[in-house]
C-alpha cells in the first residue's frame, strides 16, 4: 500500500493559517500527492495535487519536501467552511489510497 500518515485531528482559529502535515516516507518517484477534503455528509472534494514542486491554487497551497517524504497543505486563512476531514493521498499508478485523514476543527 502507498501509505500516508496524518494526525487524527487539528484545531485552528478562524482567519488564521493552517498547516496540515502528511508523511509519506514510502513514496516512489512517480507517485503524485493529492489532497481531498470531505465536509460533513458530503462526498470528498478535490483540493490540490502535485508531484515535486510546490503548488498553489485558489483553495490552498501544497508544499512538498525536497525528498518528497512529506508534504504540507496550507490553508491561508481558515474559515468555518473549511471544517472538514482532509485526506493526503498517494496515487501509485491509477489507485487511490485515502487513509483516515485529519479532522480539522475551526474555532470562531
Binding site for another protein (CB under 8 A): 1, 32, 36, 42-46, 49, 87, 91, 94-101
Q: Which is nearer to another protein, 6 or 70 (CB)?
A: 6
Q: In the bound complex, what is the minimum distance in angstroms from residue 94's beta carbon to another protein?
A: 6
Q: In angstroms, what is the minimal distance from the CB of 71 to another protein? A: 17
- As measured in angstroms, the least distance from the Cβ of 12 to another protein is 21
- Helix (H) / strand (E) containing 15: none
Collapsing DSSP states into helix, strand and coil, what is residue 71? strand
> If DSSP states are collapsed to H, E and C, what string results for 35-91?
EEEECCCCCCEEEEEECCCCEECCCCEEEECCCCCEEEEEECCCCHHHCEEEEEEEE
Using the minimum distance from each CB to another protein, give the nearer residue, 81 or 108.
Answer: 81
Amino acid at each position: 500500500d502507498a501509505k500516508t500518515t496524518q494526525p487524527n485531528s487539528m484545531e485552528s482559529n478562524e482567519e488564521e493559517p493552517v498547516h496540515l502535515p502528511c508523511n509519506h516516507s514510502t513514496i516512489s518517484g512517480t507517485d503524485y500527492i493529492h489532497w481531498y477534503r470531505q465536509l460533513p455528509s458530503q462526498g470528498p472534494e478535490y483540493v490540490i495535487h502535485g508531484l515535486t514542486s510546490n503548488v498553489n491554487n485558489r483553495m490552498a497551497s501544497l508544499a512538498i519536501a525536497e525528498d518528497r517524504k512529506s508534504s504540507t497543505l496550507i490553508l491561508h486563512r481558515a474559515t468555518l467552511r473549511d471544517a472538514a476531514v482532509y485526506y493526503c493521498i498517494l496515487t501509485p499508478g491509477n489507485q487511490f489510497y485515502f487513509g483516515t485523514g485529519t479532522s480539522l476543527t475551526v474555532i470562531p
